[in-house]
Structure formats: structure tokens, C-alpha cells
Structure 1
Amino acid sequence: MTTASIPRGDRRISPVFLGIVAVTAVAGWATWTDFAAQPGLAVFLFVTGAWIVSLCLHEYAHARTALHSGDISVGAKGYLTLNPLKYTHALLSIVLPVLFVIMGGIGLPGGAVFIERGRIQGRWKHSLISAAGPLTNVLFAVVCTAPFWLGLLDGVPPVFRYALGFLALLQVTAAILNFLPVPGLDGYGVIEPWLSYKVRRQVEPFAPFGLLFVFAVLWIPEVNRVFFDMVDVLLGSLGVGDLERYCGYDLFRFWREANPVCEAG
């Protein structure tokens, strides 16, 4: 079966995804024009919507790469529709990642697609399938930071700039964390095909706990500080300053009293 022979319904973009894109666009417009009475609410909807869109594109990249590598079952599973509800579980795919953002401003990976690895031949293909997701976050980060490192901020409203800075922070943290060689994360999936069968069998039981392990380790103050120092250096090299990151996160949490500096821009 070729890509073209997959039923059209298995490839049609989901109305759920289109709805999320629409909400993100409207919230982005409200953030840009300062239309909302409470700018923080507009920033929250814009960043959350864009974050969910990036999660969908992340999982779609896995599925699309798997499709072209030989796993045609991804179409029937609905992975090519960009519907976030198809990516394993709504709680794991959407709710938990958003909660991670709210709790600590960290873009942790969420959903997952089930790839029938037996259909795919070649270790490089398996590695590429795993790498495709976080590479999408890298691309998303490049797009979010482009106005900063290209010097195109003239005329960009401060609140919108803050929202972009915080969204860039989420994408950078998601890319870094996803590439960690921890069982259950994409980074391990990249190297797993190159490990011996014995090592893979020994590591397999720990895969379901990899994400929780990473989140727990990030709560250790020393580790958290080193991690975010690295993120700050990377974002700083792309032109995203401390003010954008701080104010973006501050406005995102609209239910708290915002810093007047951030609200005033």
C-alpha cells in the first residue's frame, strides 16, 4: 500500500486540530492588538493553543516518518489527522503537558504514537522516526525565535513578544528533554536500535517511568538551576532575553497578580 492508497478519511486534518488552530490564531490576534481586557488570559490561550499544536505536530512527525519507513498502520490509527485525542490518551497527551507548563514553565513531552516497529527494516529508519518528533520542536523554536535573532522586533507589541519568548522557552526545553537518552523518551528511541538485545530487554521495564523520572529530577534545585542556566544561554544566543521569558511566564499565569512591568510592556 502506498501513501496515496491510504483512505482519505485517515489523512484528513481533524476538526479538533483545526479548532485548536483557530483558537490559537484568535488569541494571538488578541495578544497582538491588546484587544483583551486581561492580557494574561490572551497570552494563556495563545501559548497553550500553540503548545498543543506543537504537540500534535511532534506526534504527526513521528507517524509520518513511520509511514514512509514502512508502517502503514499509522493511517488507520488516526495519527495522520493531527487529532490530539488520537495520540495515546487525552490525559497524557494534553492535560499533563499543560500542567507541567503551568507548574514549572517546562515543556515536557506528552503524547505518543504506537509504531509497529516490526514493519520497519533498518536501524537508521527506527532512529529517524524517534528523532522526527523533537526535531519538530527544534523547528518550532527556530520559528518562535526568528523575530529576535533576525532583528524583526520593530513594531511587535511587547506583550506578544513576551508570549513568543515564553513559547520559545517551552519548545527549547521540550527539544532538550526529548533528546535525553532516558527510556521512554525519544532520545532513547534514537539510540535503542543500536543497543544489544540484552540491554534493550533490561531497560524495557523502566520505559513507562522515564517521563516521571525526568520531571522528578528537575525538581531537585541544583539540577533545575543547571538545566535552566543552559536553556537561558541557548535562548540568549538566539536573542531572547530574560525579560521576555520572565514576563511571558508571568502573564501566562493570568490567575495570579501580574508584574506591572510585564502588563505595561
Structure 2
Amino acid sequence: MTTAIRRADRRISPVFLALIAVMAGSGWAVWSEAVPGYTGFAVFLFVVSGWVVSLCMHEYAHARTALHSGDISVEAKGYLTLNPLKYTHALLSIVLPVIFVIMGGIGLPGGAVFIERGRIQGRWRHSLISAAGPLTNIVFAAVCTAPFWLNGLAGVPAPFRFALAFLALLQVTAAILNFVPVPGLDGYGVIEPWLSHKLRRQVEPFAPFGLLAVFGLLWVPEINQVFFELVHTVLRGLDVSSIDTYLGQEFFRFWRGEPQLPQTGGLF
């Protein structure tokens, strides 16, 4: 009986499989341009579903690392099923990130899985649990950009290339933001075990506002420019140009009509 329950707690959720199906189907529609005039909508579905899949993988990485570090409670909570509906804060982890992708083309991180830290021994384990999520975004970015840095773009339709570039941009922004050492973000979780107990107690009340503060700072033009310069520097290192990401976002915003040639300026 116990074994059957444990298997159910680890079985991949139909919700996640449905997301994979939407991603695959919309990816095929973008590649083949199966419905003329609706390629932008297909790009939108492909990017949104791919982004939500990456969010699920991000939280799964936290939970799986916690499981192997001693927190067996993540099984019963359903975190290992990749079901986004099982998250502690579905609004913060799924709904708001998708809204901010639509609004500003930025991969907003969000907290979702509740780890029982008291079950885990060792500062390195605590740090690794926090780092596991954004490291997943880095892997996802590497996969999305593989055709670019492997010189495998020959024969890849332009809309699909642009969609991959924009999805990669979201992964890079999410990884960078998550590693910012601000309370409430994974970057702070990485360094928190190494801080004094007194300092942690002083910082703890600010944790619920850390993400909002970081996002608010991104609306400051000078900070926004520096941030996206860093993002595009990383992407150029992966052979993804700013034109690719710009056109990817233009296709993504299908409600604005056909993409136009890029102009000078940021993504906001």
C-alpha cells in the first residue's frame, strides 16, 4: 500500500503532460506554418507553454534536490508530479510569471514549493536546494539555444528560430533574477545558510517583498538597460542575436500584427 502511494506521488501529472502536448503541437505549427496568418498565435502558445514547462521543471528541481537531502515530505505534497496546481503559490509561480512575459518579455521567478528545512542537515545541502531551480533555467536556455551555438540553423524556419530565441531570453532573465541575493529569491537561499543567525532574523521580515522590489527596480530605465545588456551579452555568447529575440517577441505579441524590423531601444 505504501509503495503504491509513493508511486502515485511521483507519477507525472496529466496536467504537465497536457502542457508538453501543447508545446509540441504549437511548436509543430510554428515550424510548418500550418495555419497561414496564425503563426504569431502559434508562437504565443509555444512560448507560453514552454515557459510554464520550464517553471514546473524549476520547482521540480528544488523538490527533487530536497528529497535527496532529507525532506521526504515533498512526495506527499505532490511536488514530484510536475503538477503546477500542487504548488504552494500557484499565483506567484505560474499566473504572474505568464502575465509578466506577456507584458514585458521578462522571465519573472516565483516561489512555489515549501521545503521543510528542519529535515535537512548541512549548509551545502540547503544551498544546493536553492540553486537547483535557476540551474534548471540555465539548462533550458542551453537547450533552446543549441541550434544557434551548434550551427544547426540550416533549414530551421525563421519563426521557429525567433520563438526559440525569445524563449531562451526568458530563461536567461529568470536565471539571472533568481540568482540575485535578495530575500525571497533563490540567490539569497544559496547564501542564507552561511549567514549568522542574527542577520537572518533581521532580514527575514523583508523576504515577502524582495521579488517586488527587484521587479520595481527593473522599471528604472538605467537599471533596465544594464540588466538587458547583461542578458544580451549572455545570449550573444550563445550566438543568439538581439534581432532574433526582438523578432521572437514581436511574433509572440500576435495581437499587434506582423513583426516589424527592430529599432534602437530596450525590450520594454
Tell me the TM-score normalized by structure 2: 0.94
Contact 1:24 1:46 in 2 (8 A): yes
Per the alignment, residue 65 of structure 1 pairs with 65
1:179-207, CA deviations, whole angstroms, 9 ceiling, x for partnerless residues? Answer: 00000000000000000000000000111
> The residue matched to 2:254 in structure 1 has which SS?
coil
Contact 1:24 1:45 in 2 (8 A): yes
Letter of the 2:56 counterpart? C
Letter of the 1:237 counterpart? G
Residues 1:133 and 2:141 aligned together: no
CA distance in 2, matches of 1:55, 1:216: 21
Residue 110 (structure 1) shift? 2.4
CA distance in 1, matches of 2:260, 2:183: 43
Structure 2 residue runs without a partner (length 5+): 263-268
Contact 1:11 1:80 in 2 (8 A): yes
CA distance in 2, matches of 1:49, 1:40: 14
Tell me the TM-score normalized by structure 1: 0.95
Residue 42 (structure 1) shift? 0.2
CA distance in 1, matches of 2:204, 2:261: 49
> The residue matched to 1:156 in structure 2 has which SS?
coil
Residues 1:20 and 2:19 aligned together: yes
Letter of the 2:20 counterpart? V
Give the root-mean-square deviation of aligned CA atoms: 1.5
CA distance in 1, matches of 2:117, 2:195: 15
Residue 260 (structure 1) shift? 4.8
Question: CA separation of 1:85/1:232 partners in 2, compared to 1, >3 Å: closer, same or farther?
Answer: same
Per the alignment, residue 145 of structure 2 pairs with 145
Per the alignment, residue 233 of structure 1 pairs with 233
Contact 1:47 1:167 in 2 (8 A): yes
User: How high is the sequence identity, in percent, across the aligned residues?
Assistant: 73
Residue 89 (structure 1) shift? 2.6
Per the alignment, residue 116 of structure 1 pairs with 116
Contact 2:12 2:81 in 1 (8 A): yes
CA distance in 1, matches of 2:21, 2:6: 26
Letter of the 1:27 counterpart? S
Q: Which has the larger displacement, 85-94 or 56-65?
A: 85-94
CA distance in 2, matches of 1:189, 1:225: 26
Residues 1:36 and 2:47 aligned together: no
CA distance in 2, matches of 1:94, 1:221: 26
Residues 1:249 and 2:249 aligned together: yes
> The residue matched to 1:7 in structure 2 has which SS?
helix
Residue 6 (structure 1) shift? 6.3
Residue 95 (structure 1) shift? 1.0
Letter of the 1:147 counterpart? P
Contact 2:56 2:82 in 1 (8 A): yes
Structure 1 residue runs without a partner (length 5+): none
Per the alignment, residue 201 of structure 2 pairs with 201
Per the alignment, residue 51 of structure 2 pairs with 51
Per the alignment, residue 103 of structure 1 pairs with 103
Contact 1:47 1:252 in 2 (8 A): yes
CA distance in 2, matches of 1:240, 1:193: 36
CA distance in 1, matches of 2:103, 2:122: 40
Contact 1:94 1:111 in 2 (8 A): no
CA distance in 1, matches of 2:258, 2:203: 45
Letter of the 1:105 counterpart? G
CA distance in 1, matches of 2:201, 2:117: 15
Contact 1:6 1:75 in 2 (8 A): no
Contact 1:165 1:245 in 2 (8 A): yes
Per the alignment, residue 9 of structure 1 pairs with 8
1:88-125, CA deviations, whole angstroms, 9 ceiling, x for partnerless residues? Answer: 13221211001111111110112421000000000000
Per the alignment, residue 187 of structure 2 pairs with 187
Contact 1:55 1:111 in 2 (8 A): no
CA distance in 2, matches of 1:78, 1:64: 11
Residue 72 (structure 1) shift? 0.2
Letter of the 1:17 counterpart? F
Contact 2:90 2:112 in 1 (8 A): no
1:227-250, CA deviations, whole angstroms, 9 ceiling, x for partnerless residues? Answer: 001111110111001221000001
Residue 86 (structure 1) shift? 1.1
Letter of the 1:16 counterpart? V
Letter of the 2:103 counterpart? M
